[in-house]
A and B are shown apart, each in its own frame.
Chain A
Amino acid sequence: METNEKDILELRNITKSFDGKKVLDDLSLSIGRNEFITLLGPSGCGKSTTLRIIGGFVRPDAGSVFFEGKDITNLASEKRNVNTVFQKYSLFPHMNVEENIAFGLKLKKKSKAYIQDKIKYALKLVNLEGYEKRNTTALSGGQQQRIAIARAIVNEPEILLLDEPLGALDLKLRHDMQQELIRIKKEVGITFIYVTHDQEEALTMSDKIVVMNKGIIQQMGTSKSIYDEPQNAFVADFIGESNIIGGIMLQDRVVEILGVKIPCVDEGFAEREAVDVVIRPEDLEIKPEGEGFFTGQVTSVLFKGAYYEIKVYAEGYEWVSQSVSAPEVGARVGLYVAPDNIQIMHKPKSEDAEMIKE
């Protein structure tokens, strides 16, 4: 297997277990130069372990890590051209802001003038000019995280690893910091590998998202492709809210759901193949009774700010719809979905499903 010139990092067949429990199962992943890539998944999916293997804090049981084509699997973390922004800030509490940022540069024996320049530049980059002499323990969470970013960036790493860096911040600050991170990424022009369980955060910031579950990559792609075309029910369920229903593909462009034939745009499935059908809540339209594919009763209407979340019970299934106008609770309505808003997926390749097949 040849490494692509454009790729900066490659994980090859990584396996890792803790206490006999498999956390990563034969994981392979290539990361392109200057990409903003996000590892996304629920807690325990192996995303943090993957990051720690790249950072050099964890050794894989099997498999290799390549950095610019060179095997760095057994290289100590201080020798890697990679820096990490940790979840809990991890600033050195007995040092002030300046000393924290200078830590890596002093170890590299840089000149005083160079270090001063770098500190200035880094504080400007994270919008904390003039904070040099501040005590780190007196800073707010958001400020501490900015300093942690500055401390990592001054070492000019080829790759910046970010382990749920915004997890401890409140919602408003998190949104601001997301924009900040995108800006910083553009300014320094290096590869960002970002770990989060927050799908909205992943969709906002990433060039590429890697959805993980149970130590296996479920899907890899741009935000749009992952949201619009989830490849299995796990991804569809994890990325945003969805109506996921079992269906049967009758022929190209026709799927049968709960006994109703519905036109769609998907082709190439086997005849009468059992599939999962995903309909996003914003794509499920509420129509007057008698129109649409299903008829049901509105069970709840919740005001969510920009839209209403409407639940409709129809054909033994509770559908979720989002709409700017709300019907009455208890009203009978029709449900409709446009053909190109239906996403058809093969049944997920879970371990259990495979075992049954074999």
Chain B
Amino acid sequence: MVRLKNAFMKCYLALILLFLYAPIFVLVVLSFNDSRSRVTWGGFTLRWYGELFSNRQILEALRTTLLLGLGSAAAATVIGTLGAVGIQAMRRRGYQIVMSLTNIPILNADIVTGIALMLWFVRLMPLGFGSVLAAHITFNIPYVILSVMPKLKSLNLSIYEAARDLGAGSVYAFFHIVLPQIGSGILAGFFMALTMSMDDFVITYFTKGAGVNTLSTMIYGEIRKGIKPEMYALSTLLFAVIFVILLVFNALSGRGKNTDDVIERSR
């Protein structure tokens, strides 16, 4: 009976994983398919990848995506970390209000955020790389705050006071004592922001203006003209990069937890 139940649980899990990953797997396989057909296997090739990297338009979009991802993640990490430090120092009521406000952009539908940001930006600047960057920084900040906050909460604040007591100024104490303790949370926030930025289509689509393309808006534009196998290759690469970043992110948050446990045990 138990064995039957176990077998059923395993099948169920396999089915879920199949539904999640089979489409991606098909996409990956097709990106190596030496045939323009979507149903016949024409042998293994790297042709599409070759064409991909000789396509100036695609390379330009890749560059934009990376610049946007790294730039917005870096800016959001600085702003979000400082914000988290400030929020942590608030009294309980202000803390609760600000944390709820912080969560709204995450839960809000992307299309609403996208249109709202577009309406806002058209008044301030011409839509282009600058406006997309600003939009990405905006939606990335809450993710950074959410990953830094737990680290700050578990931080023993008296180590900051101890540093001040031993002669450190507030800036020195922050960088040499507080930062190393919350560093893994900040890094995790950075990678989270990076994936969110690379993942995003809707908000980018509304705020980018003409002439600027990220990989996702580029793929969308190309697919409307008819699906080319290069797009499979591009999507496969995008998936692979985000997958790797997620692995790094998980490794980082996992490591943070372990050090906390050591500290906890030694008390």
Contacts and interface: CB of A to CB of B under 8 A. Distances in A.
A138 B162 contact: no
Given A90-B158, A93-B259, A78 B267 contact: no
A57 B177 contact: no
A194 to B, nearest CB: 16
Interface string A64-103: 0000000000001110001110111011111000000001
B1 interface: no
A57 B170 CA distance: 12
A107 B166 contact: yes
A140 interface: yes
A15 B163 CA distance: 27
Interface in B171-200: 172, 177, 180-181
A83 B159 contact: no
A151 interface: yes
Interface string A109-148: 0000000000000000000000000000111110010001
Interface residues of A, number: 32
A327 interface: no
A93 B262 CA distance: 10
A86 B161 contact: yes
A88 B266 CA distance: 12
Nearest to A93: B263
B173 to A, nearest CB: 8
B163 A84 contact: no
B158 A138 contact: no
B168 interface: yes
Nearest to B180: A94
A107 B266 contact: no
Contact of B163 (A103, A144, A152, A168): A103
A104 interface: yes
A57 B161 CA distance: 8
Contact of A138 (B156, B166, B266): B266
A151 B161 CA distance: 14
B167 A107 contact: yes
A55 B163 CA distance: 12
A184 B177 CA distance: 28
A321 B237 CA distance: 83
Contacts of B158: 86-88, 90
A168 B158 CA distance: 15
B165 interface: yes
Contacts of B169: 76, 78
Given A57-B164, A78-B169, 10 more contacts: A55-B161, A77-B164, A77-B165, A82-B165, A84-B161, A84-B165, A91-B162, A107-B167, A107-B168, A151-B166
6 contacts: A57-B161, A76-B164, A87-B158, A92-B159, A104-B167, A141-B266
